[in-house]
Structure 1
Amino acid sequence: MISKETLFALSLFPYLGFLWFISRSPQIPRLGLYGFYGTLVFVTVTIPAGIYAKVAYGEALANIDWLHGGAEVFLTLSNILLVLGFSKAVQELRNR
């Protein structure tokens, strides 16, 4: 059986492929694209935060509120960028 850590690491490759293809599309709103890249930043921040939580506290990241919340800020910002970017794109299409 594959571990959740291995599955998590392997899931980065399809997401990187997704980012590569979507960044070449002229139809994707720039702000939305930044949101998708922000998700990658969230993952990049979460991995060392999870390691620190395990080493410093002997706990999973989800059990260390201040550290978990700090990492989740990046996901929240990514989601905001996605919503704003695609919302603007929808409004522009409606105004045509």
Structure 2
Amino acid sequence: MTKETLFALSLFPYLGGLWFLTRSGQTPRLALIGFYMTLVFVAVTIPAGIYAQAHYGQQLADVDWLHGSAESFLTLSNILVVLGFRQGIIQKRSADQPKG
């Protein structure tokens, strides 16, 4: 099995997990946006990889400016996930504290 096939097949479990997270209503909104942003990263990376191959004759990882630009979407999605869960933890802790 090629890495491209494995990559394509890995989207299905991710989309299924994302569907369940969305449907549960228990995932902090900002974290959920971060998980969806990972799909934006994938959507940006695929054409960037094709461009790197067609224009430079190299893999995306070997074209620094293009690779870094694509990876910035992954960085943004990771930041949103972390901030979203941080916000969720803070809200849960404040809700659990007795009002005095």
Whether these two folds match at TM > 0.5 is yes
Give the TM-score, by structure 1 length.
0.96
- The percentage of counterpart residues that share the same residue type is 68
1:41-52 alignment to 2 at 5 Å? Answer: 41-52=40-51
Alpha-carbon distance, 1:8 to partner? 0.4
Give the TM-score, by structure 2 length.
0.92
Distance in structure 2 (CA, Å) of the matches to 1:57 and 1:26 = 45
Residues 1:64 and 2:68 are matched in the alignment: no
Distance in structure 2 (CA, Å) of the matches to 1:20 and 1:53 = 32
Distance in structure 1 (CA, Å) of the matches to 2:18 and 2:74 = 16
1:1-96 alignment to 2 at 5 Å? Answer: 2-96=1-95
In structure 2, stretches of 5+ residues that fail to align are 96-100
Distance in structure 1 (CA, Å) of the matches to 2:24 and 2:57 = 44
Alpha-carbon distance, 1:94 to partner? 1.4
Distance in structure 2 (CA, Å) of the matches to 1:17 and 1:50 = 25
Alpha-carbon distance, 1:9 to partner? 0.6
The two structures, once aligned, show a CA RMSD in angstroms of 0.7
Distance in structure 1 (CA, Å) of the matches to 2:58 and 2:82 = 33
Larger radius of gyration: 2
Stretches of 4+ aligned residues off by more than 3 angstroms: none
**1:54-92, Cα deviation, whole Å (9 max, x unpaired):** 110010000000000110110011011001100000111
How many aligned residue pairs are there?
95
In structure 1, stretches of 5+ residues that fail to align are none
